[in-house]
Structure 1
Amino acid sequence: MNLRAGSDTGDQAQVGRLAELERETHRIRDSVAGTTGSAESPDGLVEATVGVYGELVELILDPRVFRTPDADALAEQIRSVVNEARAAAQDGVRRDLAKYLAADADGPAGLAFQPFTRLLGGGR
């Protein structure tokens, strides 16, 4: 009786699962990398595009924004638009990767870790 043969088959299956996990990880990474979200202020004077990790990709300020010299209000408007754009980017990733995310996976931590723990057989 060759006990080693059964072990080899189990090892090969594990290697196959790890290879599939690696392929899926690369696919997810590539999918997420280019995801952006955009938002615009209610008055249309500030527009932002943000990547899924929060990086500011583009900020457009309409020249009319400078007609009212209120730096605090402008800063608040920019912050608000950037945060809305970030949320839009993360929502896009959640929609695209819904099959990997638990219903309660929320925020960047859920986006970053939940797919991998599920693929490895772990719960939340």
Structure 2
Amino acid sequence: MFKGLGDMGDIGKMMEAAQEMQAKMAKMQEDLANLTVTGESGGGLVKATATAKGELVGLDINPTIFSPDDKEVVEDLILAAIKDAQRRAQDKAASEMARLTREMGLPADMKMPF
């Protein structure tokens, strides 16, 4: 690139690669906000839906579980479904990050600041 600068010409390539990575990371973050996962508990009686970024966006409760005597059970099922959705969201985000780093030729265990 620049004659007489030796490896300094590679800086331009590195900057271009860094900009490309930044653009792909921004796109991935946007995509994670649009991907949803559903966690459930009680054999599907309670379902919680979250984005792959972990934001809870929906809750579905089968009406057959409503009984004044079962209040604590219902609360536990709701919490379990939310935790399951959040775990699935983390797993989805991690798999998307691994896919992106693989596509970019980066080490799979490379820690990104996002």
TM-score by length of structure 2 reads 0.69
Alpha-carbon shift at residue 56 of structure 1 (Å): 1.2
Equivalences for 1:24-103 in 2 at 5 Å? 24-99=24-99, 100=101, 101-102=108-109
> Deviation string for 1:23-82 (max 9, x for gaps)?
222232123222221122234321111123332110011222212433222111111111
Q: How many residue pairs align between the two structures?
A: 105
Aligned amino acid, residue 115 of structure 1? M
For 1:95, the aligned partner's letter is S
Instruction: Give the equivalent residue in structure 1 for 2:20.
Output: 20
**CA–CA separation in structure 2 for the residues paired with 1:39 and 1:91:** 12
Contact 2:39 2:49 (C-alpha < 8 Å) held by counterparts: yes
Output the aligned Cα RMSD: 2.8
Structure 1 unaligned regions, length at least 5: 103-112, 118-124
**What is the CA–CA distance in structure 2 between the aligned matches of 1:23 and 1:77, rounded to whole Å?**
40
Q: Is the 8 A contact 2:32 2:51 kept in 1?
A: no
Percentage identity across paired residues of the two chains: 24
State the partner residue of 1:114: 111
Q: Which runs of 4+ in 1 moved over 4 A?
A: 5-8
Q: In the superposition, relative to structure 1, how do residues 114 and 32 fare at CA in structure 2: closer, same or farther (>3 Å)?
A: farther
Q: Structure 2 CA distance, aligned partners of 1:42 and 1:36?
A: 20
